[in-house]
A and B are shown apart, each in its own frame.
Chain A
Amino acid sequence: MATDLNQQVAGIKEDYKYGFRDSDEHYAFKSGKGLSREVVNQISEMKGEPPWMRELRLKALEIFTSRPVPTWGGDLSELNFDEIHYYMKATDRQGKSWDDVPAEIKNTFDKLGIPEAERKFLAGVGAQYESEVVYHSLREDLQKKGVIFVDTDTAVREYPDLVRQYFGTVIPIHDNKFAALNSAVWSGGSFVYVPAGVKVDIPLQAYFRINAENMGQFERTLIIVEEGAQVHYVEGCTAPIYSTESLHSAVVEIIVKKGARCRYTTIQNWANNIYNLVTKRAVAYEDSLMEWVDGNLGSKLTMKYPAVYMLGKGARGEILSIAFAGKGQHQDAGGKVVHGAPYTSSRIISKSISKNGGRASYRGLLKVADGAKGSKSNVVCDALILDDFSRSDTYPYIEIDEDDVKIGHEASVSKIGEEQLFYLMSRGLSEAEASTMIVSGFIEPLVKELPMEYAVEMNKLIQLQMEGSVG
């Protein structure tokens, strides 16, 4: 039973289980703080990149520098770009098998349970430790079918034509300040290519982890799902606690071609001082399906709105988003759906929980272009506020330029019910257990969409968040 909390969290009592950290000494290379053309050149050189990528980086840097910090969302005024390391290479070696991975890094992964996860059912593991992928494996049968699952740096070297064809096409370098930043300094991330008609029936997984104080992590993920193909990509993050500000700014681009399906599942649990500013966007062509399942915990501020641009007739987009805002945290999350073709349909389900002074905002865009007749969209956002000091807000933006559409929008805000608490307590549950049960029930619609292990982890993380505030 995936949602049986107490069973799964037995023994997890530390304030922050994943707050362990390794020493910094083993980093093979660490760039200086701050950002300049020199730093960008250095990164590109270290990676031995072709000139076109270096040029793209430098151009993106210019755009990043020229754009103001956005003020429409969360508070970014304390984010100091000069205090961040933009590149760090954890090890010179990139292991192909588990034995090749350095012991200290292995320790960290062991604590996160990755090897076990792999044994069970992983198709491939691309685990990002710092800015560089150190461990990568992919089941042979997938390789035979032509599925590519490598870190993006490797992809630039080994599949330059494919990368060049798609890189920056879904999220151009000038899209927004943080996408430009990522484009300038990106490192790591996953590159996934699924050839036409190939169905990858086991989730592809990657674990991400930031592990150096003041170090930005700028992974770049690019997924191409050819016609009639299917893939489920899963990404989970746990990060250690640090005392000074840190920045995570990823870009994820996905192309879902005719009749293809792609699901991208994320659970992110950043340390409480991290700015998590991510641009995720997919384009979905004719009769294809793109699904984002997005769980956000931790961080100081998260701004993330997975998007689906439906550009082919009959395309579908689904976004399931969950946010948990605890003390000192602002989760500004939601989703964007753009209907750019007829008979497209979309659904956004957003659930947020705020407690201990946390703030959860839903920010969503629903756009239907002129000519996208017969399109349907349904948006549901539910907020659960656990105490009187916490906050929830909703910013739904709706732009409809077509008459023949069906649109639904529901929003609800509820406080944890006194009657629910009393009912559960009358059956022997403590107030804390009862609250946790109510919260885990609230997010159940998301949790049940997760692969088993992630459901377990999600429940553990929720339990930790709940415990953090009790007593």
Chain B
Amino acid sequence: MSKTLQVENLRVAIEGKEILRGVDLTIRQGEVHALMGPNGSGKSTLSYALMGHPNYEVLDGSVTIDGVNLLELEPNERAKAGLFLAFQYPTAIPGVTVASFLRHAVTNVRHPDRKEGEDLIPMREFRKELRAQMEELGMDPEFARRYLNEGFSGGEKKRAEILQLAMLRPAFAILDETDSGLDIDAVRIVSEGVNRVAARHQTGILVITHYERILNYIKPQFVHILFGGRIVENGGPELVQVLEEKGYDWVREKHPEAARDEDALEEAAKQHQPQFLGTAS
């Protein structure tokens, strides 16, 4: 059964400052969407707000998966409802191995009714699956024994995010700047991993990026431009071409009110970089 992620008139503030000024977005399972926009347009804010970061205050609007109101749920419950966020800056958890973390996460997401302290999914089964997924992503089996994101290179971090995506099999995945900091080979490997997961599990994908190159590998059917905290343009893959050739100036001219908000956001982003990134470390 195909699910729908629906975002309506979402308004979000950080530290009292409004960043998203009414975002509308509908993603069905199996679709690939790209969300593009300049730095500070609110792209990461959208991803954190959808996942439920406590610092992001929702002022108005709704986010639902098949009618279930995500905004009333804790982040872990959102994960169980089928939402996944591949972080731009995944946080290190020292002393916790990739394998033990993932076994716990996979158990919770696949068995949402499991009570805390009850059995995890069987070790043998889990290991087998993990090994297979790692192999597909070209990861050394040793990787499972490393501490989560600790001392990972940029490429390893992103690959680990996609490994989690593959293991958790969400209905919807947000990829927040997954291509940033990667060389072209790494972008290809990571993208292929995303495409495999999407094909296998009919995952609805939202690729957030301000570069075009990842979209050569993960091909969107729908493209949205976020500018000044709202989606100002919706289109197909041709919109990517337009942005590549002409940049954002025409967007600015066409949407003067959004341009004013965008300038204010960029200014604020410069002053409060860590907060906006959510993860300073």
Give B83's nearest chain A residue, CB to CB. Answer: A426
Residue contact A438 to B96, C-beta cutoff 8 Å: yes
- Bound-state CA distance A441–B75 (Å) is 21
A interface size (C-beta, 8 A) = 35
Residue contact A1 to B164, C-beta cutoff 8 Å: no
- Interfacial chain B residues near A441, Cβ < 8 Å: 93-96, 147
Residue contact B87 to A432, C-beta cutoff 8 Å: no
Q: For the complex, is A272 an interface residue (Cβ under 8 Å from B)?
A: no
Residue contact B51 to A426, C-beta cutoff 8 Å: yes
Q: For the complex, is B43 an interface residue (Cβ under 8 Å from A)?
A: no
Residue contact B54 to A422, C-beta cutoff 8 Å: yes
Q: For the complex, is B80 an interface residue (Cβ under 8 Å from A)?
A: yes
Q: For the complex, is A419 an interface residue (Cβ under 8 Å from B)?
A: yes
Residue contact A425 to B168, C-beta cutoff 8 Å: no
Residue contact A6 to B117, C-beta cutoff 8 Å: yes
- Bound-state CA distance A272–B105 (Å) is 33
Q: Which of B106-144 contact A (CB under 8 A)?
A: 106-109, 116-120, 123
Give B103's nearest chain A residue, CB to CB. Answer: A4
Residue contact A417 to B91, C-beta cutoff 8 Å: yes
* Binary contact track A415-434/B, C-beta < 8 Å → 1, others 0: 00111101111111111111
Q: For the complex, is A73 an interface residue (Cβ under 8 Å from B)?
A: no
Identify A426's interface contact among B76, B95, B100, B120, CB under 8 A.
B76
Q: A6-B118, A441-B94 are in contact. Are A429 and B74 (CB under 8 A)?
A: no
Residue contact A4 to B100, C-beta cutoff 8 Å: yes
- Bound-state CA distance A419–B94 (Å) is 13
- Bound-state CA distance A430–B80 (Å) is 11
- Interfacial chain A residues near B154, Cβ < 8 Å: none
- Bound-state CA distance A427–B123 (Å) is 19
Q: For the complex, is B220 an interface residue (Cβ under 8 Å from A)?
A: no
Give B119's nearest chain A residue, CB to CB. Answer: A10
Residue contact A423 to B97, C-beta cutoff 8 Å: no
Q: For the complex, is A172 an interface residue (Cβ under 8 Å from B)?
A: no
- Interfacial chain B residues near A418, Cβ < 8 Å: 54-55
Q: For the complex, is A440 an interface residue (Cβ under 8 Å from B)?
A: yes
Q: For the complex, is A68 an interface residue (Cβ under 8 Å from B)?
A: no
- Interfacial chain B residues near A7, Cβ < 8 Å: 119-120, 123
- Bound-state CA distance A422–B90 (Å) is 10
Residue contact A420 to B91, C-beta cutoff 8 Å: yes
Give B79's nearest chain A residue, CB to CB. Answer: A428
Residue contact A1 to B123, C-beta cutoff 8 Å: yes
Residue contact A13 to B91, C-beta cutoff 8 Å: no
Residue contact A13 to B95, C-beta cutoff 8 Å: no
Residue contact A431 to B74, C-beta cutoff 8 Å: yes
Q: A423-B90, A440-B95 are in contact. Are A432 and B100 (CB under 8 A)?
A: no
- Bound-state CA distance A430–B75 (Å) is 8
Q: Which of A150-179 contact B (CB under 8 A)?
A: none
From A4, A7, A419, A434, name the one whose CB has the most chain B CB atoms within 10 angstroms: A419
Residue contact A428 to B91, C-beta cutoff 8 Å: no
Q: A417-B91, A419-B281 are in contact. Are A428 and B76 (CB under 8 A)?
A: yes
Q: How far is the CB of B59 from chain A (nearest CB, A)?
A: 20
* Binary contact track B70-81/A, C-beta < 8 Å → 1, others 0: 000011101110
Q: For the complex, is A442 an interface residue (Cβ under 8 Å from B)?
A: yes
Q: How far is the CB of A444 from chain B (nearest CB, A)?
A: 3
Q: For the complex, is A337 an interface residue (Cβ under 8 Å from B)?
A: no
Q: For the complex, is B278 an interface residue (Cβ under 8 Å from A)?
A: yes
- Bound-state CA distance A426–B76 (Å) is 5
From B51, B80, B95, B120, name the one whose CB has the most chain A CB atoms within 10 angstroms: B95
Residue contact B104 to A3, C-beta cutoff 8 Å: no
Residue contact A428 to B93, C-beta cutoff 8 Å: no
- Interfacial chain B residues near A430, Cβ < 8 Å: 74, 76, 108, 116
Q: How far is the CB of B87 from chain A (nearest CB, A)?
A: 7
* Size category, B interface: 35 or more
Q: For the complex, is B213 an interface residue (Cβ under 8 Å from A)?
A: no
Q: A419-B279, A428-B80, A437-B104 are in contact. Are A12 and B117 (CB under 8 A)?
A: yes
Give A2's nearest chain B residue, CB to CB. Answer: B100
Residue contact A425 to B281, C-beta cutoff 8 Å: no
Q: For the complex, is A445 an interface residue (Cβ under 8 Å from B)?
A: yes
Q: How far is the CB of B83 from chain A (nearest CB, A)?
A: 8
- Bound-state CA distance A443–B93 (Å) is 12
- Interfacial chain A residues near B54, Cβ < 8 Å: 418, 422
Q: How far is the CB of B45 from chain A (nearest CB, A)?
A: 14
Residue contact A424 to B93, C-beta cutoff 8 Å: yes
Q: A3-B96, A3-B97, A441-B94 are in contact. Are A427 and B117 (CB under 8 A)?
A: no
- Bound-state CA distance A420–B92 (Å) is 7
- Interfacial chain A residues near B120, Cβ < 8 Å: 4, 6-7
Residue contact B76 to A429, C-beta cutoff 8 Å: yes
Q: How far is the CB of A467 from chain B (nearest CB, A)?
A: 9
- Interfacial chain A residues near B118, Cβ < 8 Å: 6, 10
Give B90's nearest chain A residue, CB to CB. Answer: A423
Residue contact A425 to B76, C-beta cutoff 8 Å: yes
Q: How far is the CB of A418 from chain B (nearest CB, A)?
A: 7
* Binary contact track A284-315/B, C-beta < 8 Å → 1, others 0: 00000000000000000000000000000000
- Interfacial chain A residues near B279, Cβ < 8 Å: 419
From A11, A422, A442, name the one whose CB has the most chain B CB atoms within 10 angstroms: A422
- Interfacial chain B residues near A237, Cβ < 8 Å: none
Residue contact A429 to B108, C-beta cutoff 8 Å: yes
Q: For the complex, is B196 an interface residue (Cβ under 8 Å from A)?
A: no
Q: For the complex, is A9 an interface residue (Cβ under 8 Å from B)?
A: yes
Q: A427-B164, A429-B108, A441-B147 are in contact. Are A419 and B91 (CB under 8 A)?
A: yes
Give A1's nearest chain B residue, CB to CB. Answer: B100
- Interfacial chain B residues near A440, Cβ < 8 Å: 95-96
- Interfacial chain B residues near A426, Cβ < 8 Å: 51-52, 75-76, 78-79, 84-85, 87
* Binary contact track A389-432/B, C-beta < 8 Å → 1, others 0: 00000000000000000000000000001111011111111111
Q: For the complex, is B53 an interface residue (Cβ under 8 Å from A)?
A: yes
Q: Which of A435-460 contact B (CB under 8 A)?
A: 437-438, 440-445
Residue contact B104 to A433, C-beta cutoff 8 Å: yes
Residue contact A425 to B74, C-beta cutoff 8 Å: yes
- Bound-state CA distance A418–B75 (Å) is 12
Q: For the complex, is B99 an interface residue (Cβ under 8 Å from A)?
A: yes
Residue contact A3 to B100, C-beta cutoff 8 Å: yes
- Interfacial chain A residues near B281, Cβ < 8 Å: 419
Residues of B within 8 A of A (CB): 51-55, 74-76, 78-80, 84-85, 87, 90-91, 93-97, 99-101, 103-109, 116-120, 123, 147, 164, 168, 278-279, 281
Name 19 interchain pairs, CB-CB below 8 A, sorted by A. Answer: A4-B104, A4-B120, A6-B104, A7-B123, A9-B117, A10-B118, A418-B54, A425-B52, A425-B76, A426-B78, A427-B164, A428-B76, A429-B76, A430-B74, A431-B74, A433-B108, A434-B76, A437-B96, A441-B93
Task: Give 4 closest A-B pairs by Cβ, nearest first.
Answer: A441-B95, A444-B95, A428-B108, A441-B96
